[in-house]
Amino acid sequence: MSVQAITRIGNPTLRERSTEIEVHEFGSEWLLNLVQDLWDTQAHYGSVGIAASQIGVNRRIFVFGFESTERYKNVVPVPRTVLCNPIIKITDPTTTNRYEGCLSLDNLRGEVARPIGIEYSGFDAYGNPIKRTVTNFHARLVQHETDHLDGVVFLDRVQDIKTIGFREELNKVGIF
């Protein structure tokens, strides 16, 4: 398919709750094309995950995963996954702070506290069930992308606005 334009903060669609993928849509040409657009767009921008709302499609689906990434060099690989209609259950409420970024907010970063352990469930693009219990970066990534489906961006979760900065500036001082 093709690389899509990123919907940026300020566009009201990023603040809307996305609607579920319907049973009859699993495996459809429309959904499989959307999945390919998401993978193509994620690869083009060097991202580790992208929600459909970030390309202007307000449906409850995102893709994520990587073998390695320049941006997050010290994290364990996350399997490439298509997740539709995700449900998250917190399994370890202990939070950890980490800087997050987002394609929809260009090069802005900010420190976000998130639970370190979750169980997530949902479906792949063909309607096959997915259920995983994960921790650390994998858990953070799924929570971040699920937030997009609820109209939430990471800036909404930043507790100390003094941690917000541009990636390049944070790199200069060794933060990101």
The 10s digit of each residue's pLDDT in 89-119 is 999 999 999 999 999 998 999 999 999 999 9
The 10s digit of each residue's pLDDT in 29-54 is 999 999 999 999 999 999 999 999 99
CA geometry: angle 83, 108, 15, nearest 5 deg: 50
Confidence bin at 147 (pLDDT 50/70/90):
very high
User: Contact at 8 Å (CB) between 137 and 112?
Assistant: no
Which pLDDT value is given to residue 37? 98
For the beta carbon of residue 14, count every other beta carbon within 10 angstroms: 21
Closest CA to 97 of 111, 110, 108: 111
Question: Going by CATH, does the domain composed of 12-172 fall within 3.90.45.10?
Answer: yes
Question: Rounded to whole angstroms, how far apart are CA atoms 66 and 23?
Answer: 28
Beta-bridge mates of residue 59: 19
Token pair for 125: 């693009």
User: Contact at 8 Å (CB) between 20 and 58?
Assistant: no
Which pLDDT value is given to residue 175? 84
Which pLDDT value is given to residue 74? 84
88 alpha-carbon distance from chain centroid: 13
Q: Quick one: average pLDDT of 142-164?
A: 97
Question: Rounded to whole angstroms, how far apart are CA atoms 97 and 114?
Answer: 7
Active site members:
145
Question: Rounded to whole angstroms, how far apart are CA atoms 61 and 12?
Answer: 18
User: Contact at 8 Å (CB) between 26 and 126?
Assistant: yes
Which pLDDT value is given to residue 174? 84
For the beta carbon of residue 131, count every other beta carbon within 10 angstroms: 10
Of residues 70 and 66, more confidence is placed in 66
pLDDT at 176 over 90: no
- Could you tell me the residue ranges of all domains in the chain? 12-172
Specify the pTM: 0.95
% the chain with pLDDT above 90: 91
Which pLDDT value is given to residue 70? 77
pLDDT at 165 over 90: yes
